[in-house]
Structure 1
Amino acid sequence: MKKILLWLLGIILITGIGLFFGAKYLQRNWKPLLEEQLKQAVINSTDSLYKIEYKSLDVNPINGNLNLVDFKLTPIMEVYEKLKITNEAPDNLYELAVDELIINKANAKEAVSTKKLNIANIIIDHPQLKITNNRQPYNDIVDTLKKKKNPYELIKEIFKELKINTIQLKDVDFTFVNNSNEQKKQTSLKNLNITINDLLIDSLASQDKNRVYYTKNVEINIKDYQIATPDSLYYVKTSELSFSTIRNELLLKNVKMEPRLSKAAFHEKAGYAKDRFDLDFENIIIKDVDFDLFLKQQILMAESLSIEKARVDVYNNNAYHRKRTDKTGKFPHQQLLNVALDMRIKQVNLNNVNISYAEYDAKSKRTGIIRFNNLRGTINNVTNNIASLKKDDVMIANVKAEIFGKAPVSLNMKFYMRSELGAHDYSGTVGAFNGKILNEIVKPLGMAEIKSATISKVSFDVKANQNIARGTMQFYYSDLNVSILKREENGNLKDQGFISTVANGFIIKSENPSKKGEFTEGRILYSRPYYASFFNYLWQSLFTGVKESVGVSREKEAKLKKSAAKIGSLVDDAKDAFSSIKENLKERKEKREVRRDEKKTEKEQEQKKKEEQELEIKN
């Protein structure tokens, strides 16, 4: 805010001086004197670092109006380089262009004698501001030692008081270039509207606790903002972005990331099985932002970020091949460390978030889906700030939800931010539910159907890193019965009776603990393939615990696969033998029918011959 106030104050000084000296020098030669004063004002307020240009300046000191067209404020790089040599260069350089600036109802004539300039309204049309950040280490020390001039000290030679009721900046284009890191980063925002209320600069204003940076309020607003993502697959939209220094919060309404293509067209363009996201957040609220720190050092510090009433839909299509790119080092907490913006948010609050994952299966020709309804909870210590991580390097998430809106689930996660291997722990519980609700995902994607299952409780505890997950699972259930399915030519999924019977009778335990009270604990031991994402890794790790709990240990699974291959071969041989017998029987039947037809024809011919002979005898 202080940096923005600096360049804004520069414009106000220029225009205010224009009115002041326009009133002071009403004679014909006022313009050369005015231009000289303007140049001197820029020199004084920017330590000779900036120069100004403009197309035209029209001043009417009688009614207190001013019009400035095509104004430009640019840094003088020769001066900047000299300041770097003497360790006096600022962290930020500003380039400013304004299409038009209008001042209404300034008391210019009175200000000549009172040195108190009051302005009713300033309108700045389409300002284009570019801030280039080159952080200078010595400024961290200099800032504490060097007494910098405050806004009043910059104007006191001309004014005792500067008061502006309203400043409106319309259609602002803002570009921030961060050259302080190894990789250059650029952020741009367009179509901003900024309103500053009750700006007062005098000898006492800085001590007024009701003011923030000499103002009663600063509001930043963007309406109906939309950009396309670099890959051209999505639009990112928000109906409104607003920030207020009175409320000290940033509000984003109706934030969306919308796919630009239909599901079919999306995967056709992607060319592989790529997750397609459709996101909708009703409100995102960031509270207690340290706005001064953000503008000064580009560090985002905030007490909380709240997401209210959100929808997250993910879709994939495994009819396309999976692109096995290396996802090592790309877990959520590892990605946070790579975010260009230096940040620390004390707590992220999630409220009424609905998440779904759907996948089309090439084998079943159906789409499976799993839903997590009403997800809510907190994520604490969301940071990539080095100083903050030295104090506390653990990010903790505690969330609750309902699977398909019915099965209550609770998940606790710890992310060790400074771990080179991406270490993290997770534990949780799932409450009682009817296992048949899982058929929405198991049937299309697993080619199986849960005929019955009463789940009493599931609990798990896992310690993991980016390579391996180890832990345990306690899975309490009864009356488990499944059908193994196959897809018929007509598209229907049919129960493979014999295989299902074998699975239920000899492989899967129908209950845990058993009727004898024996409980099978699920071991979790899973090595992550290099291409597996974080959430795939989490799911596959937990699934190993489920399989162990129902009686399919790793050793047993290996034997089953081997036996299944043999049984499959025997079944195929039996099918071939049966087909051969069937063909042989059919061939023998056809031969018998041919012989019957031949005998019938012979009898008919013999009868005809006999009749002909009898006719000859009579004649």
Structure 2
Amino acid sequence: MKSIWKWVIGILILIVMAFAGISWYFSRNWKPIVEEKLKELVRNSTDSLYSLTYDNLDMAIALGNVTLKNALLKADTQVYARMEAAELAPDNLYEIKIKELKVKRFGILDVLRDKELNIKSIDLIDPHIHLTNKYHAYNDTVSTEKPKKSLYEKVKEVFTSVNIGRIDIESAAFRYTKLTDGQSRSFGLDSVQIRVEDILINENTQADTSRLYYTKMIEAMVPGFEYEFSNGFYAAKFDALKINTQEQTLLLTNVAYKPVLEKTAFYKKHGKNVTRADLHFDTLYIERLDFKKLIEKQQTIAHRVYIKNGYAKLYGDKRYPKQPVNQIGQAPHQKLMRIDKMIRLDTVFVKNVDVIYGEMSGKYHREGEISFNGTAGTLTNVTNDTLTLSNDKYMRADLWAKIMNRGNLHAKFSFDMLSKTGEHSYNGTVGSMNATAFNRILYPLLNVEIRSGNIRRIRFDINGTDYRSRGDFRFDYDNLKIDLKANPDEPKKKSSLKIASFLVNQLIINDSNPDANEKYHVGKVNHRRVPEHTFFKNLWQSLLDGIKQTAGISKEREKKWKERAEIAKETVEKTKETSQETKGFFRGLFRKKEK
């Protein structure tokens, strides 16, 4: 038995020694062949545009491991210039530096015998990737005369099949530069983590729709990003970005589009009254996102989008001039239809988002604000795809919020995406609330306060186009009283405003609906749009038309009130003048008696 074991052990030792010798031979003598094949692969797959250099190539054939140190993949500028002259140059150029690239379980025998490249894993340590984008108009048109080769067609002369189990990219630095009209703009990302799984390149997988660029899964994590736009007014940022192509998901956390400057500096630099936007969302999550369409055609196609926990703050400053611009055709749904890249989102879910509009009064120099707190709901059929819209032409929104953080608002919108005149409709209700909540916007901007008022319910149903809005407005309320406030710069007008307030409450506004005669007033909205008014301002003006009617305010009563207010004002002023003359007379008498 002992002799048998001696033979077995001896044979194993001989096998190991032989294998080690063969490995040593391959490592020394086949290294130039592997290097040449590697460089040939880069040349063939990039049409000789790129070259690969490195400091050292270590090979351990026995283990099937290869390590490249200080590798550099760089474009040949002369080749690129010739491709531009022939209108064949790509829009994107890459420069990739890698401190260390480790290939594990590399099957050299498969390459030699069957021209098949099988690799268990590839690790890229500390890579720096610089992408330079330069627009070429000819790339917008797909050539039918000379179709572009697929990756498989480019490598098949070297390998009939390429199979890589996994690629891990650690602590990658990514820089993007865009060249436009001789000028360049750049931004960068650091500490990016990327994992790619199950890469298979052969004659069958180039048409496999379950794979994205021959891969089963790409997962990327970007820990943070901030970019300031070249106009100097806004910056975009997020805390983390995570994508998974197999699950078709994209997650952004703490994403924001925010002004760089405070309000005063913002408007001083702008010099005109523009809408200042400040957007922030804790979570932006997309499901079933078509990454291939997004990358290749910049089309955004997804099943669901979730927007959670955040705010959208819009602001204007009327102390600065606003150049009148015709807003016809500029409604949100009309702008969506004019975007040249396809957008198709089946459903957008909104949860707990505050929508706030603030404005600085140009007359009273005070800030007013209206808010829709905790907005939640859904938007459906959000698309500019005419093929999809041929089956259902309406984009819809069904939203809930607390207006002024008090009354429950429920509103439904319907937009005819194919209408040439911007047809749309909206209906909704507002629940019970105290009307004084609206003083946050009324007093700063209009110098008017609601002294008291109980809103029991509001219902509206409006249809509109670019030019006119029609519908019904119902406003149930009681105990409504308002006060016209004096301008702080004109304190002498307080007396006349008290009279004017009295006239408004007694003669103009019904303090309840139904009124004292138990007549219920319904607002019949028929509002003609001012072309310079935005879509949302026109919406408000249409609702205001309904509010006035339900409160009993007609144009005739408004005119009569203004006439009476002027008479009251003149009476007060004359009374003041008479009083001053009387006081002067008695002062004169008193001084004469002293003498």
TM-score norm. by structure 1 comes to 0.78
Q: Does 2:361 match 1:361?
A: yes
1:99 Cα deviation from its structure 2 partner: 2.3
For residue 593 of structure 2, what is the aligned residue in structure 1? 596
Deviation at 1:311, TM superposition (A): 1.4
- Cα deviation, residue 173, structure 1: 3.1
Alignment match, 1:518: 519
| Structure 2 match to 1:10 | none
Which position in structure 1 is the counterpart of 2:200? 201
The CA RMSD measured in Å over matched residues stands at 3.8
The aligned residue for residue 268 of structure 1 is 268
Alignment of 1:436-451 (within 5 A): 436-451=436-451
Distance in 1 separating the partners of 2:434 and 2:560:
30
Give the 5 Å matches for 1:364-513: 364-488=364-488, 496-513=497-514
SS in 2 for 1:64: strand
| 2:69 match | 67
Contact 2:238 2:256 in 1 (8 A): yes
Deviates more, 1:101-110 or 1:425-434: 101-110
1:408 deviates by 1.0
1:346 CA displacement: 1.0
Aligned pairs (5 A) from 1:168-179: 168=169, 170-174=172-176
Contact 2:107 2:118 in 1 (8 A): no
Q: 1:142 to 1:342 in 2, by over 3 A?
A: farther
8 Å CA contact 2:160–2:202 kept in 1: the answer is no
Q: Deviations over 1:523-575 (max 9, x none)?
A: 222233233222111111111110011111234334544x15xx42x455445
**Contact kept in structure 1, 2:44 and 2:154, CA below 8 Å:** no
Task: Report how far residue 459 of structure 1 moved.
Answer: 1.3
- Deviation string for 1:42-63 (max 9, x for gaps)? 45435xx442234545212235
State the Cα distance separating 1:419 from its structure 2 match.
2.4
Give, in whole Å, the separation in 2 of the partners of 1:156 and 1:342: 37
Report the residue type matching 2:280 in the other structure: D
Q: Give yes or no for contact 2:54–2:68 (8 Å, CA) kept in 1.
A: no
1:24 touches 1:109 (CA, 8 Å); kept in 2? Answer: no
CA distance in 2, matches of 1:582, 1:492: 14
Which structure 1 segments of 5+ residues have no match?
A: 1-21, 599-619
The answer for the alignment partner of 2:140 in structure 1 is 135
Question: Which residue of structure 2 aligns with residue 548 of structure 1?
Answer: 549
For 1:95, the equivalent position in structure 2 comes to: 93
Q: Measure, in 1, the Cα distance between the counterparts of 2:492 and 2:117.
A: 86
Does structure 1 conserve the Cα–Cα contact (< 8 Å) formed by 2:455 and 2:476? Answer: yes
2:302: which partner in 1? 302
- Measure the CA separation in 1 of the matches of 2:432 and 2:160: 74
CA distance in 1, matches of 2:492, 2:579: 26
Cα displacement string for residues 128-155 of structure 1 (whole angstroms, at most 9, x for unaligned residues) = 235657233566x998xx9x75649935
Matching of residues 40-51 of structure 1 within 5 Å:
40-42=40-42, 44-46=44-46, 49-51=47-49
CA displacement at 1:476 relative to structure 2: 1.7
Identity of aligned residues (%): 24
1:473-511 CA-to-partner distances (Å, cap 9, x unmatched) read: 111222222222223459899683322221121111122
Secondary structure (helix, strand or coil) at the match of 2:586 reads: helix
Amino acid at match of 2:198: L
Residue 105 of structure 1 and its aligned partner are, at CA, apart by 4.3
Measure, in 2, the Cα distance between the counterparts of 1:594 and 1:406.
Answer: 62
- Shift of the alpha carbon at 1:310? 1.2
Q: Answer whether contact 2:107 2:117 (CA < 8 A) is retained.
A: no
Structure 1 residues 172 and 578: alpha-carbon distance in aligned structure 2, compared to 1, 3 A threshold: same
- Of 191-200 and 245-254, more deviation after overlay is shown by 191-200
Output the TM-score relative to the length of structure 2: 0.81
- Is 2:528 the counterpart of 1:527? yes
- Whichever residue aligns with residue 67 of structure 1, its letter is K
Structure 1 residues 53 and 44: alpha-carbon distance in aligned structure 2, compared to 1, 3 A threshold: closer
CA deviations over 1:262-298 (Å, ceiling 9, x no partner): 2332233233333333222000011101112223333
Residues 359 and 136 of structure 1: CA distance in aligned 2, closer, same or farther (over 3 Å): closer
Confirm or deny: 8 A CA contact 2:152 2:203 kept in the other structure. no
Shift of 1:163: 2.2
* Aligned-partner Cα distance in 2 for 1:472–1:397: 20
- Residue 558 (structure 2) aligns with: 557
Can you list the C-alpha shifts for 1:400-427, whole angstroms capped at 9, x where unaligned? 1111222111111112222233222111
Q: Deviations over 1:571-603 (max 9, x none)?
A: 5544554454344334433432343233xxxxx
**One-letter code aligned to 1:447:** N
Q: Which 5+ residue runs of structure 2 have no aligned equivalent?
A: 1-23
Who is 1:257 aligned against? 257
Letter of the structure 2 residue corresponding to residue 162 of structure 1: N
Q: Distance in 2 between matches of 1:216 and 1:509?
A: 69
